[in-house]
Each structure stands twice: as structure tokens, then as C-alpha cells.
Structure 1
Amino acid sequence: MNGTAELALTIARRSTPPSEKLEELLTAVHHHNKPKLLHDRQMHDLIVAAMQENRPVIKVHAEQMMTILEAIIREGIEMGQFEVEDPAEAARAVKTAFIPFFHPVLIEHRLRHGEDIEGLA
């Protein structure tokens, strides 16, 4: 999970426009995590168990990712790219919208039902 947060932070620190950062971050995180979740069953099961048990490592990771998303959105508001009143609420909405691309159980479900997740993100 540290690798995912580091990737997101690297993207957030780039000097590209916030809208591009947001798109790149969401795509990069999906492509970074997907192979681990699909091809490493032990890692998949470990992450799912940690999520189901509400382990602190999951909470810390989720908070890190929310902080990064919120910072990008706040930057976008300041630059006039995003018209949102509450960056924290917008970050939660982005996270919710992209759960199918990040949650290991949902990724696995899509694959079991023959859905092409590569074409989705």
C-alpha cells in the first residue's frame, strides 16, 4: 500500500494541471494495484481480510489517499479548474465513484463475470 500512496504523491506533486493529475492518479493507481490483486492470490486475500477486519493499515492508507485527492482538488479549485465548494466532499465523491477500479473484491467480481476491466480505466 505504501507503493500506491507514493505513486499518488508523486503524481500530485507534478507541475501539470490538477485535472490531468487527477486523471493520471486514478488511472495509475488502478494499473499499479490490478496486477497484484489479480495475479497474487495471497496478496489479494491479505488485503481483503485487512479491509474486512478494519485494520489500522487500511485506515491509514485510505486517509493518505483522501488527503492526496483533496489536495489535488483544492489546487484545481484555486486554479479555477474545478467548481466545488468543499474539496473534502469532492474527494469522497471521487473515491466512491472509483471504488470499482480499486476494490479487490469488485475487480475480482468483474473478471469472474467476463467484464473487461482493462477497457474501463
Structure 2
Amino acid sequence: MLTRDIKQSSLSAGYSESYSKSKAYELLQDEKIQKKIQELEKEHNQEHFKRLSTIANKELETILLSSDNDNTRLRAIELIYKLSGIIQDDKISLNVNNASINQNVKSLDDFYSNEHF
């Protein structure tokens, strides 16, 4: 899974050159091996996405704090909310713990028009 090369992976696992040439493709036909590769790829992709999300959030926060352009700052806020899962399908979920206000789901247009910024 890490090398994306059947022969190299089998050599790294300790198999001989001749075995790697002849049997590596057969190993990939094994259901247990296929399942394990899928599990490892899923774990790898999840960790990679977490790292990228962290980097993206830091960059968006930098843009938010340093930009003089209101549209740029609003777009950064929107993207931060989308990455964090607050906004889904152009809806924003707000849970306000205030006795006089109880908002659940608003559209982005409603959110921006209410001058929250």
C-alpha cells in the first residue's frame, strides 16, 4: 500500500526477487490481502485529510486576520465553517443558548444579511 508497487512491496516484506516476480500478483487476488489494503488505505487517507484540514484551517485563519477585504474575510469564515462541519449544503446550524433567542438552521444569505460580522 505504501509503495503502490507490488514487486517493491513484496521485496520490502522480505520475499525473494524471483518470488516477487511470480507470486506478488497472486497475493493481490487474496480477499484477506485486498481487505487489509483497503483498511490501510482508508486509515492513511483519513490521517492525510486530518493533516490537510489542519493546514487549511491555519491558512484560512491567517487570511481572516490579515485581510483588509471584507469579501475575502467572509469567504474565509465560510470555508472555516464548512471545514468544521458547521455549514452543510449551504445551511448553517446555530445553537444559541439565550432565553430570548433560539435559532436552529438558517441559510447563508440569512446569516450574512443579519450583520453577524
What is the TM-score normalised by the length of structure 1? 0.30
- Greater strand proportion: 2
What is the TM-score normalised by the length of structure 2? 0.31
- Greater helix proportion: 1
